[in-house]
Amino acid sequence: MVYRSSAAGLVAKFLKRCSQQVFSAQFGTNFESRIHYLVTGMSPTPSDSKTNSTNPATPVPVRNSRYIFVTGGVSSSLGKGIVSASLAKLLQARGYSVTIQKLDPYINVDPGTLNPYEHGECFVTVDGAETDLDLGHYERFLNVRTSQANNITTGRIYQSVIDKERRGEYLGRTVQIIPHITDEIKRCVQILGAESNYDFVITEIGGTVGDIESLPYIEAVRQMKWECPEETLVVHLTLIPYLAAAGELKTKPTQHSVKQLLEFGVQPDILVCRTEHKLSDAIRSKVARFCNVAPNAVIESIDAETIYDVPLLMQSEKFDEVVLQKLGMSFEDTEPDLTTWKQFLDHHKNPKSTVKIGLVGKYVELKDSYKSIAESLIHAGAKLEAKVEIEWIHSETIMAKNTHEVLERLDGILVAPGFGSRGIDGKIETITYARERQVPFFGICLGMQCAVIEFARNVLLLEDAHSTEIKEYTPHPVIDLMAEQKSIQNMGGTMRLGAYPCELLPGTKAKEAYGNDRIEERHRHRYEFNDLYLSQFESNGMIASGRNPNSGLVEMVEIPEHPWFVASQFHPEYASTVEAPHPLFISFVAASIKNRSTRISRPAAHSGTAS
């Protein structure tokens, strides 16, 4: 906390100590009671306390969650999400329960309607929340599922406060940024720890310190540091740039970033410094002195070969030990168990084979648009000890006359998800090539719908077969909205979001990959396979290998006579993690590796065939 004068500082310290004494006297160590008081301004009634179901008089022990905030300075895109996930991984590897939350300062209620060129991929959680792509990093690192509570936007905060005001919950008081918006932010942060009983809640604050959009979040952090200093920690990620002309690292941007944070009343406890070069002891000492942190709290975050190196680099900097020390927790008796992680890295960096996968999509200029797919291919490759080389191909560049030229060097082809008509023709031409040339093919969401359209046109000979999303009055709507969806007008109201069950057909490649009869996968789409055409498809060689047991909707299709032609309406990439690569991606990459040995001879066999 920064005080403008010594008198003000003394008064503030006195009030702070009094408030802490009130907390201790009134609530003791009951953290949930503290949260109830902080959020509602009222002491909880006895019925609000957790009790033991077998003995109502005995309270259930509540874990005292620690809250770690990760802010960023100097520049965006420094990797707050990766640093947060790496710290979480190290704490998890020591046996602690950890979750990570992202606070996004934009006014959108969620990223669901954002263009992928704006924010990259929209990641979907099992409970159907459309969230920031950083939640994908959290899940891939921790192998723990997230939910809507793990991603909060300014839009959701304001919407919640305005709804409460409309319901009269503020009893006629003037609704303001402080305390109402900041209280709502704190409620969203603290309730995640209280309800789920985590040891640590790591909260990443999007944007850069100084952005006008993130000021309420920084103020909420200041208040939490003031209210619960022993349970709250602030990590500030900053940049120490290297000036080639001068031949030295410069600490001034970091000093100014911390100074700006101090102006808002927040003293960072730990500085994580992104850098291209090693930080000398002199640089660390200088940063510590001018930014008012301990020398061991200046953590080097040097550029890494892969994001999966970062947890090990952070461990070598003793990042987790410094965090535990500052929160008054013991660390000497535990060591992070990263055996599985190191094995994954060893396979990833020392592959025994190479395979080239073509990723065909309409947003390939920004690779973060398909972040989960790219990482899923990496996970599968490491599992098979193969290096997966991804060739990013814009679907608008593919035409009937150039498919052979563009696609012939690929061992496998993946057609990516998307919305809208742009690039559809290129995806359909790609699928024709993969089907006819026996190249392993994996279609995801819109990729499956394009596979259905291609088969309808070229095998069933249904002229102008299409999706009603693209061509509303097509004579053969092989992809269509369900009848109950057609009356819904709100954007997103017709979406199938979150995890749904799927029963797999025995003897199919899908069943072989999963090894189970029933699965659950996440969806994000409006349009479905039109069941009226299913018998035509199955009698001509494309079968429904997976169906929803409740609605009967087709979830997966495949061609049994093809070496590997599988497509899913759901998004398997959301579920792939370092510790548990997704079985469909493993099966697809394995088929592509197998195809590589025969791929070179295939172009010669078809050299006289028009593509």
Other CB atoms within 10 Å distance of the CB of residue 6: 8
Residue 9: how many CB atoms within 10 A of its CB? 13
Model pLDDT for residues 276-285, shown as the tens digit of each residue: 999 999 999 9
Output 185 or 599, whichever has higher pLDDT: 185
- Tell whether the model's pLDDT for residue 605 goes beyond 70: no
Highest mean pLDDT among 19-28, 193-202, 458-467: 458-467
CB proximity list for 157: less than 8 A, separation 6 or greater: 181, 184, 185, 188, 216
Q: What is the pLDDT, as a whole number, of residue 602?
A: 54
Q: Which contacts qualify for 573-576: CB closer than 8 Å, 24 or more apart?
A: 573/372, 573/373, 573/375, 573/376, 573/444, 574/123, 574/124, 574/136, 574/139, 574/372, 574/522, 575/521, 575/522, 576/140, 576/372, 576/375, 576/376, 576/379, 576/380
**Which position among 236, 523, 573, 582 bears the catalytic label?**
573
Instruction: Please tell me the predicted confidence (pLDDT) of residue 244.
Output: 87
Which is higher by pLDDT, 611 or 252? 252
CB atoms within 10 A of CB 29: 11
Give the active site residue among 137, 236, 476, 571.
571
Place of tokens 């031949």: 247
DSSP output for 155-179: HHHHHHHHHHHHTTTTTTPPP-III
Segment 225-244 shows an average pLDDT of 94
80-93: pLDDT as tens digits = 999 999 999 999 99
579 compared with 601, residue with greater pLDDT: 579
Helices marked H in 480-533 — which ranges? 509-514
Q: Is the pLDDT of residue 519 over 90?
A: yes
DSSP 321-333: HHHHHHTT---TT
Residue range 243-263: mean pLDDT, rounded: 93
177: exposed, middle or buried (C-beta count within 10 Å: 0-12, 13-18, 19+)? exposed
466 is catalytic: no
CB atoms within 10 A of CB 34: 22
**Joined tokens for residue 73:** 């300075």
Q: Is 18 a catalytic residue?
A: no
**pLDDT tens for residues 95-110?**
999 999 999 998 888 8
Res 266 pLDDT > 60: yes
Task: Judge whether residue 9 has pLDDT over 60.
Answer: no
> What average pLDDT score do residues 591-605 get?
74
Q: What mean pLDDT comes out for the span 125-145?
A: 93
| Cα–Cα dist 210/194, whole Å | 30
| Whether 347 is catalytic | no
Q: For 425-451, what is each residue's pLDDT tens digit? A: 999 999 999 999 999 999 999 999 999
> Could you tell me which residue, 78 or 14, shows the higher pLDDT?
78
- Residue 600 is predicted with a pLDDT of 60
Measured between alpha carbons, how far is 152 from 22 in angstroms, rounded to an integer? 31
Asked if pLDDT for residue 15 goes beyond 70, the answer is no
DSSP letter string over 39-69?
A: HHSSPPPGGGS-B-SS-TTSBPP----EEEE
Q: What is the pLDDT of residue 487?
A: 54
pLDDT for 567-582, tens place per residue? Answer: 999 999 999 999 999 9
Q: Which phi and psi (to 5°) does residue 283 adopt? A: -65, -45
Average pLDDT over residues 348-371: 94
Residue 287 class from Cβ within 10 Å (0-12 exposed, 13-18 middle, 19+ buried)?
buried
- Is the confidence at residue 607, as pLDDT, over 60? no
- Say yes or no to pLDDT of 52 above 50: no
- Rounded to the nearest integer, the mean pLDDT of the chain is 86
Residue 204, helix vs strand vs coil: strand
**Is the predicted pLDDT of residue 584 greater than 90, yes or no?**
yes
188, 228, 273, 445: the catalytic one is: 445
Q: Decide: helix, strand or coil at residue 301.
A: strand
What is the token pair recorded at 20? 């802490």
pLDDT for residue 191 = 87
What's the pLDDT tens digit per position in 547-558?
999 999 999 999
